[in-house]
Each structure stands twice: as C-alpha cells, then as structure tokens.
A and B are shown apart, each in its own frame.
Chain A
C-alpha cells in the first residue's frame, strides 16, 4: 500500500536473498533500535567510512578483506572482584551457526589493554578460557596484536581466528565463545581492593568476525580471467562475434 512505512514482506518473497535476510536480520519494526554503547558503534562507523563512500558504494581500496564484518558484543556480566593484583572477567560471546553462504576468513577480539579504575590504571589482556586456571596466555604482546588506525589509543585487536575456527563454528544451534579478560595492577603499587563499578563486559571487549560471501567468491572463480576482462571491456564485441 502506498505510504505504508514498513515493507510488507510476502511469504514467498523469502526466497529472494535480501528479503530472506531482512526477515532474519532486521529487528522487528515494533522493536526499538537496540542501544549500542560508544566504542563498538564508533569502531564500526570508522570501519564503514574506510570501506564505503557516503552513498554506500564500496571503495576500491577497502582493506577489510571481507564482504561482511560482524561485531559481536559479550553477554552482559560484571567482573567478580578478586583479591590481590589480578582482576578477572569472563567474556561470553554468543556465536550464531554459520550459514553455508558465508566463509569465516578472520576472527579478532578487540579489548581495552588499559583500564582506569578508582585511582589506578590497570594493564589488561585476553586469554582463551580453559577449565583449569589460565596458564597459557594469548601472546599479549605477540602475533596478531595490532593497533589498526581505527582503534582509539587504549584498545588492541588480537587475532583469534585459529581459536574460533571450525571447531566452534559448524555445530548447529547456539555456541558461546568464552574468553578471559585479565587486568593487573602495576607492579609494586599498593594492592587496592577494587569494585568494578559498572564496568560491565560490554565496555571492555568485543569480537569481530570477518566473512566472505561464498557466492561472490564462486562467481569470481567461474569466469576465467581472460573472458572476464573481455566482457568487462566491451560486451558488444561478444555480440558482434556471435552475429
């Protein structure tokens, strides 16, 4: 109906890719736009501006290396205050089952490596969660920890592609990726008893999952290079030859 604001999606339309995704991804009209805190939204807006112009055309020189990037925020929980110089927060990231159409090409966790709590400033890093006490750390200053220009000063991006990998990925139903966010007071400083006042996990870390749409990957392979260039350059040449 003209003037009807929301898209009345026909049931059979769900076979059309975009409409099917609208049905799956778009929060219902009645649902308010979920509130998204500062850093994650700022990060994704920066990523968007680096990847597309103001009309939404993807830039030729974009560096995401993926046709889809999902920022996943951890389930809200608050750290358990601990005694001594260490503070530990468990981060649970809900993972959706992967749709066949997308291939995971990279996974990173972005976290604050510096936290200012009470009158002290903590240095933090992320480890993957294991049943027993955390022994093997992610190399907190090693491979994969990069500081892409998108990140504000106190944030670091850590590659965890192997960790997320297939084992967590192809199971049906909901999966949770559990990581540990550990902070330590500076050595030698007076051990302060902290309460992580409201420092919920929503503000300390988020997951970035980079996907490629396998169809577009397939399409790129279908046309051997020569023919693709040929059709790109002057499609009417093919027609003329056929004539």
Chain B
C-alpha cells in the first residue's frame, strides 16, 4: 500500500480534504484586554494577538506542518481501518511569550514575561 500512498496525486487527497485554502494553517487574531475583562489590572500592552490554528489535516502531511509520524499513521487508520478514529487535529506548534505590565491587588506594579501566550506556527497532531 505504501507505493499507492507515495504516488498519491496530491489533488485527490485535496478532493477529500477540501481545497488548499482550508488546510491546517495559522490565522492572525487580535483582542483587547478589555474584551477579556482584564483591563482593570493590565496597564500594557492594550492589544494582544494570540492567533489560532485552523484547517483540515490532509492525508499526506507536508513538511511545513512539523507533524510527527504518528499523525500520518492516524490519518491512514482513519481512512483505511476505522473512520471513528478522528483525523489528526490542527493545533499550535510553536509559541512565543508576551510581556505584560500590571497592577497587583496590593498596589505593586509588576513587569512579567508570560510564556506560550502567542501561537507562532501550527502542526497536525
């Protein structure tokens, strides 16, 4: 079966997975801390861009998706063995931190770097 998969015409898998445009990818998204209900204690920044990952995970996962081998296997299981096992999910792969200036309940002022607050790339897992 490996031969068939390897010679798979990308277009066919796209038929099943929809067009190129809805493949797993990073989408920019910006919120204000006011929308999150935190503006009464956050001084800076005013806007925050967490971004998000969205899209389907095609059967033959291209390299840019940093997917583990397991994701390819799970796709095959979903297609060839048991459809109740879901395809891999499109989730963040790399994150970057954000620096926040905030006021604490006792009036102290805090500069703090929070890890993993902004999605920088996506993967199928």
Contacts and interface: CB of A to CB of B under 8 A. Distances in A.
B105 interface: yes
B124 to A, nearest CB: 13
Nearest to A102: B112
Size band of the interface chain A makes with B: 35 or more
Q: Specify which of B100, B103, B109 lies most central, judged by the most chain A CB atoms within 10 Å of its CB.
A: B109
A168 to B, nearest CB: 16
B111 A69 contact: yes
B112 A56 contact: no
Contact of A56 (B35, B37, B40, B44): B44
Contact of B103 (A5, A29, A33): A33
Given A7-B38, A26-B38, A47-B111, 10 more contacts: A4-B37, A5-B35, A7-B36, A26-B102, A27-B41, A36-B103, A48-B43, A56-B44, A56-B45, A57-B99
Interface string B91-103: 0000011111111
A29 B40 contact: yes
Interface string A14-33: 00001000100111110111
A184 to B, nearest CB: 30
Contacts of A22: 38
A48 B115 contact: no
30 contacts: A4-B37, A6-B37, A7-B36, A18-B114, A25-B104, A27-B104, A28-B105, A29-B37, A29-B40, A31-B105, A33-B40, A34-B107, A36-B109, A44-B43, A45-B44, A52-B45, A52-B99, A55-B45, A56-B45, A56-B98, A58-B97, A64-B111, A67-B113, A70-B104, A70-B110, A71-B108, A73-B108, A213-B113, A216-B115, A239-B66
